Copies of this chain bind each other. A is one copy, B any other.
Amino acid sequence: MTLRIGVIGTGAIGEDHIRRITNTLSGAKIVAVTDVNVEQAKAVIKNQKLDAKLYESGHGLIQAKEVDVILVTSWGPTHEEFVLAAIAAGKPVFCEKPLATTAEGCARIVESEVKHGKRLVQVGFMRRYDKGYYALKDVVTAGKIGEPLIVHCAHRNPVVGDNYTTDMAITDTMIHEIDVLRWLLDDDYVSVQVVYPRKTQKASSHLRDPQIILIETAKGIRVDVEVFVNCQFGYDIQCEVVGETGIARLPEPANVLMRSEAKRSVEILTDWKKRFIESYDIELQGFIDAVNQGQPNGPSAWDGYAAAVTADACVKAQQTGEIVPVTMKQRPAFYNK
């Protein structure tokens, strides 16, 4: 069956998801779109050659008969209301991160979905679909390095704009590590701490950059994440799991090995969009296939909630310099696998 998808928000990632559903993936098509910027929505219909109806609002689109599934790619602050409406309508919904901008908002979605009684929501944490992380999880789960004890990570960006603030290092940047490491380790976080190294002169005056976030998990694993968003040299994602008998490291993206100008070298990507580009395809194809077979099975509303609670704790740790506990509600049995 071909899923009929309605898209709320046809901006950068919205258009990108529309393009991949239309040209690359199989099993779904775009039948409806909406955007507060109507011109933007019209342009996307035209550029992507869609045979899709333009809706005036997200709510109208969610109610529409011909729409089976909702894709929420509008601005973060609008996500909660659209996801709640989709649940109310009993329609599966793929929501780009963040699920909601507050932990409370996420909790409301969790509650609503639990009440509905069946999974409808998937959150756009695409790193879980990256082949590298997947291979890393395979190694860990297979016990090839024994029990994991420590994880060393880095999330490095060449440069950020002046409007990037210190807390965005958590909410926009490290949020991906927050989700993917919970999944990788099959664990939960209990406390976080943030330390500030010497500041780079390349960052704007108001921004603490780099930062190191120290996390402890329920199993006692220690995670350290270096977030460095003006590192200049490239978009560089590192993840190394130290286990009882060995260490496994996230693969570097494959690239041509050069010998030239007195160097052996391999190019590092500078554009973050290319780093996980294939995982978006796998993520959405997985969502489509899972919905076709019953219900979504990717990152859940609970995962969105857990990420939000952890991010809040990290921001508090940034501000206080303290070790801050990560306190979550009881996980509804609904979300146990």
Contacts and interface: CB of A to CB of B under 8 A. Distances in A.
A244 B200 contact: yes
Given A132-B254, A254-B132, A263-B263, A221 B248 contact: no
A257 B249 contact: yes
A330 interface: no
A228 B152 CA distance: 14
B145 A258 contact: yes
Interface string A224-249: 10101001111010000010111111
A253 B256 contact: no
A259 B144 CA distance: 10
A266 B259 CA distance: 10
Interface residues of A, number: 74
A24 to B, nearest CB: 6
Nearest to A260: B246
A222 interface: yes
A269 B135 CA distance: 13
Contacts of A266: 263-265
Contacts of A245: 202, 231-233, 260
B210 A242 contact: yes
A242 B260 contact: no
A23 interface: yes
A245 B263 CA distance: 12
Contacts of A144: 258, 260
A37 interface: no
A255 B251 contact: yes
Interface stretch (A108-116, A119-127, A191-199, A310-318): A191-199
A56 interface: no
A222 B242 contact: no
Contact of A236 (B27, B251, B259, B285): B259
A147 B232 CA distance: 13
A22 interface: yes
A27 B226 CA distance: 43
A147 B198 contact: yes
15 contacts: A23-B26, A25-B26, A132-B254, A145-B260, A198-B221, A200-B244, A201-B244, A210-B242, A231-B247, A247-B259, A248-B257, A262-B270, A263-B265, A264-B266, A264-B268
In the A-B complex, the 8 residue pairs with the smallest Cβ-Cβ separation, listed nearest first, are A246-B260, A198-B220, A265-B265, A197-B222, A251-B254, A247-B259, A254-B254, A249-B257
